[in-house]
Structure 1
């Protein structure tokens, strides 16, 4: 069985975490941040 999930590079992870941090500080909720960044809320 192959793993078809997209893997992010370390640089992409750092960039998305920074974006998420700014969005959360601006009052966005976790679900909205995940939708905007195209990531799963599962591990949030």
Structure 2
């Protein structure tokens, strides 16, 4: 029952297309955050390698 109230608090005022769009945006946001984290890590590795090289 708690999951219903959690769902309702999140999606209660949305129509079905709006709820689907919100879910798509959340998924895309997660994907972009992962890509950003990977890029930041890659940049740090490159910077560290260049510091040691010189």
Give TM-score, length-normalised by structure 2.
0.40
Query: Which protein has the bigger helix share?
Result: 2
Q: TM-score, normalised by structure 1?
A: 0.47
Q: Which has the higher contact order (CA 8 A, sep 6+)?
A: 1
